[in-house]
Copies of this chain bind each other. A is one copy, B any other.
Amino acid sequence: MNIIKIILFSLLASATLFAAPSLADRAKSMTLKAIPTDKAELSKLTDPNKTITIEKVELGKTLYFEPRLSKSGLISCNTCHNLGLGGVDGVPAATGHQWTANPHHLNSPTVYNAVFALSQFWDGRSPHLEDQAQGPMQAAPEMAAPKELVVARINSIPAYVEMFKKAYGESVKVDFETITSTIGIFERTLVTPSRFDDFLGGDEKALSNAEKEGLELFLNKGCTACHSGIALGGGKQKFPLISKYTYAEIGDFKGDANGIVKVPTLRNIIETAPYFHNGAIWTLKEAIQEMGRTQLGQDISDEDATKIETFLGSLTGTKPQIVYPQFPASTTETPKPDLK
């Protein structure tokens, strides 16, 4: 009897010790992480400097949609990073002031979950969202607004100055840095939890069998080498790494000084076509296969690419509800729109 017990116990122990880890555990061991459901834990990631307040987020949201931050008065952050379109514009190259396309033919990256990225812009030259927001506003082919114009427009509208006072206190200086960093603070809240997070959190039924199969392939093929962490991306990598990018001739972007390119997040990827830094690829399947060639040196079959695509669908998240802002009216002091 004792011997039988020992044998049974040993079998049980070895089964536990050597059981294949669950798919969720494997995903986590390969760096994938859920968006924390615990607010304090999430806040440690999205708001390490504790700048988020209701007033700043509300003001930042208003500024995010505010077209008068552009020289013409027609273009807002939301024009290229449309919060209803997965945080992008859906066109290959960002197009702004005077209908000018980005001179490097760069595609607008999504603002959703950008807070989880280690840096901003395609070459990762910006350390955080507050800094990033300064770029497009001034860039000639985007919003084309000199700092002084942005500051003058906002300060000419007493209701805006009041909003800044409410958010930062009476002595606030409503300068370019404060205006843009307030937009960055709003962007920190643009986080979209999805079924994949539920799955990583232990809900095995959150993904369908087809999605799990796709995830297996995603892990086995090595995609998490770059598409890692909460964002499934957001780091940097040499691109192309192994073979030539098929659409390399579109635009002249070659990454940073070392040919390193920021890795896009895969969250909401189904909503953010066209793909790649130059927006040259319209279908996710082709994008997956191109990645296989350029970064992993492998041909991913149509069947496998379709399965991976199915998995990526589980990364479509719930967007925060945004009440469209009412902008305070311009005054006679407000610098006029300039479409030239």
Contact = CB atoms under 8 A, between A and B. Distances in A.
A325 interface: yes
Copies in the complex: 2
- Name the residue in A65, A99, A336 with the highest tally of chain B Cβ atoms < 10 Å from its Cβ: A99
Interface of A: 65-68, 72-74, 79, 82-86, 89-91, 95, 98-99, 101, 270-271, 273, 282-283, 316, 319, 321-327, 329-330, 332, 336-337, 339
B90 A73 contact: yes
B99 A84 contact: no
Contacts of A72: 91, 95
Contact of A270 (B65, B323, B324, B329): B329
Contacts of A82: 67, 327
A67 B95 CA distance: 13
B91 A324 contact: no
Interface pairs A-B: 4 shortest CB-CB:
A99-B99, A322-B324, A271-B329, A84-B327
Given A273-B330, A324-B324, A74 B91 contact: yes
A321 B323 contact: yes
Contacts of A99: 98-99, 339
Given A73-B89, A73-B91, A83 B324 contact: yes
Given A73-B91, A329-B270, A84 B98 contact: no
Nearest to A84: B327
- Name the residue in A82, A85, A95, A101 with the highest tally of chain B Cβ atoms < 10 Å from its Cβ: A85
Contacts of A325: 84
Nearest to A83: B324
A84 B67 CA distance: 10
B68 A339 contact: no
A163 to B, nearest CB: 14
B273 A91 contact: no
A316 B68 CA distance: 20
Contact of A339 (B65, B91, B271, B330): B91
Nearest to A89: B74
